[in-house]
A and B are shown apart, each in its own frame.
Chain A
Amino acid sequence: MGKSEKNASRSEVNLVKEKKIKKKVLEGGKLLVEKKKKISSEKKKRSLDLVPMPERTSEDEDGDRLKKKKKISEKKLGKKKEIVEEDDSDLEITLKKKKKKRKKKLVEEIEDGENEQKVEKTLKKKKFVEETEDGQKEQKVVKTLKKKKVVEEIEDGENEQKVEKTLKKKKFVEETEDGQKEQKVVKTLKKKKVVEEIEGGQHEEKVEKALKKQKKMLVEDGNQQKLEKKLKKKKKEVEPVVPASSGGAGSGDGEAGKTLQGMEKWIAEYNARRPGIHVLQEQLDSFIADYEEREEQARKERQVAASGDGWTVVTRQKGKRRSADATSGIAVGAVHAAVAANAEKKTQALNDFYKFQKRDTHRNEVAQLQLKFQEDKKKIAQLRAARKFRPY
């Protein structure tokens, strides 16, 4: 849901603000398009086949959606998000068909849509940016608009690229992806921390460590499962790129990754999941090492936090618990067998001591039986209706 929800909400906001902004957009649109083009070409030079293709398409889709939104809004403004999404693919298809006729128009519209988004985002400030997945591009746009805080992020983005590059050399493809994704997700949740950390460590290795730390936090986070789901979804989206880069077939062009489908894709996926025992081992080892370290740190932090007020917190020490009493052999917390039996007897004896108790239990039993009989009757009636008793 993550992505689609966001898209939907984003475009809804668009709709609301559409009229207000329209003028602005129309004016600023062209300008922005030009700027964006510049940026993207720059980025192409810089980024080494890293801009994930699906993101590009998602951007296109955004445009589609916006166009679609307009259409719908003409009919009905408050239509459900779901339906709109489901029709995305259809729309794509119809668009393809009518491509020749409407190509020009369409391109304009899509670009318009993008621009609208950007503009809005600048209006809605940071919060919006956080939510966007394709952080990189938006960041670029934001860059042009010169927001201070976001600049940091762009640096951060560049870092990512660097990191990934080096990681790829080491064939840590999967890990990188994970890192990339997780980074983004974590960013949206715990942005500040991450940024600090990454800024602090310009060194590659440090960055790597930071990536793991984010993972750590990921795990620590209360919303673990949600995040996991998000990760999975994202993995699927990004996956087509994997074989291209890992197999060395794609020469860095995003298009190559997109066309990989069917048998080739599944085989590539199969192979990608099996990078070799040592690679996997290293990944897991580092995960576990980090997990332990994080646990330890969390424990310490808790202690520090707790003792901050001048109190010393006494915590249970790890180790084997005493499970049985050394002398009697009775388990800790357990009741002696004789005592337990006695207690049971007592409660039993008390149940039918008074006359009214007996009467009550009897009445209950009868009621129970009657109820059961009624239920049985109902059941039989059902079966009879289904002709279950006809032996021929």
Chain B
Amino acid sequence: MDECQSAIPAHDGDLHVVAAAHHIVKALGTTKNLSDDLRKILIDLDAHLSLITSNIDSKGGKGFVEVEERLKRVERKIVIWESDRIMIWDSGPKEASDYLEAVDEVQTLIDSLRGLSMNENQKQKELLHRASSLLQMAMSRLEEELIHMLVKHKQQSEPTYIPSPSSQRNVVYNESVVSLDNESAKEASSKNSCSDECGEYIVDLVPEHVIPDIKSIAKVMFASDYGQEFCEAFIGVRKEALEQHFDILENGKLSIEDLLKMEWCSLSTEMNKWTWSMKIIFGVYLMSEKRLCDQVLGEFGSVNSFCFLEIAKTTILCLLNFGEAIAMGPQEPEKLLRLLDMYETLADLVIDIDALFSEDGGSFVRLEFHKLLEGLADSVKAAFNAFGVAVSSNGSLYPFPGGGVHPLSKYVMNYISMFPEYCSTLNLLLEDQHSDVASLVSEPQCGPTASLSTSCPMACHLRSITSSLESNLHKKSKLYKDEALQHIFLMNNLHYMVQKVKGSELRPFFGDEWIRKHNAKFQQHEMNYERVTWSSVVLLLKDDNPGSSSLSKSAFKEKCKGFSIAFEEVYKNQTSWCIPDPQLREDLRISTSLKVVHAYRTFLGRNPAHVDDKCIKHTVEDVEKLLFDLFEGSPRSLRNSRRMMKT
């Protein structure tokens, strides 16, 4: 309105011009189909021209009669609501638009009164004060209406369609390098993969139809220079709403001190919650909040990003601090998968975070999250290395009973079978440590002929881990005094490793060459077992004197007895041994049977004369049957059973 000031007529002659202009404006104002903006301009112009007239009139003493009249009219419209208990916007759209119109009018009057030079005109001053009071009353009211509106609709629009993290929480978390059975390791390792379910989606934090109302209040408050009040009220409600959503996600308010002391089990739950919360808060709520801010405040410039930052900051800091606490904690191997989840989640969100906080004020937030991402990357690497160290250094004092599949093998193989899901991340993070490991794992897969999947950093690390596992198993096998059991143990565990590789996503990373080689390894142990256990036993049946047709009775008896004792000894020992894999057990029994039963049958067949019940403790059929008791993991003794049979 400043430019109008110069338009105040200096000469009486100009009065005609003003009057004429006023007429034209009034006439134009009656035209239908005017755009809102144009109509507003005309109304303003009308008000201003009438003021000029009255100002000139006032010199004649008549005063601002018309202005006062208009002020009185509008005053009634505004004051009437002060005693009303009902909210204006709840009363109906008509009431709301009338009220906004009234506020517009007050603002117009104020602008016009201000536009006039203040030549100590008492009346003008008084009117201006009255109008300002009225404006303050209206603004205060609008602020209240705004808060009411935001709060009311905030609660109505509680999103119910976001999948709850509880679906993921039925998972067992307490992984540790020792004593884990197959199932819990598998469960515990299951990847937290909700990114596919929820992705990024924007919800209406405030119902669509309310936005124009909020905007209309924003418009009029900003136009009256009450933008600050609008922002504070808006920020206040929205910030609280966001914090409530954050609370619903059940993020424990934990200090760093608490987190560093926390048991792994609870910590793992918290880490999962964080991953989940990050996705929901950034992917859903902040995205939606940003859109709401853009819708409401888009046309008010930097205010928009300021409000958004204020709304988001405390919640973001909470998430950030949790991440920092995890990144600084000791990186134990069991944390690896959860850390990978956290890293991947943040890596996915970083682009969004950059976009959400692209303005200067948000650079702090952007920077902090980039720092956190680096920290988490280091943590993943540290945990990965710790895992490798744990695999190679896991020590035992006593041999694992039965020579079955060691828990370490189960744990390691189940754990690493989760890695392929994180393949691209692990390849990225392990890249710089790749060359060291690749040279350590001097498998042909890492050579020039290797395919891509077997030569990627993760593949080399995987094979390095399994080779650590192998050497550790060799160490563990030395704890058995019985050499045969050493071979059973190694056979079992190597067979288990091969099976795990073959039956999982690990296969392409290990390659057929690795499988072939390791098949050969466990088969070698199988053969070694047979040699160590049975060669001496079979040797007892050997013909000392190949020339003669048959043995003397006593020699035969002696040999029979020797065989029985040796066989019973093996039986007693090896029924307590264990081959968990039925196929492997079957194969070994058959090949043992072939060797032993065949030798026994031949031996007996060669001495038909001596064969009678007294010397032969076990018939061929007995031996054949008894061999099937081996490796069942339940110790038996033939002497006992024989005695039992007799009594």
- Chain A partners chain B: no
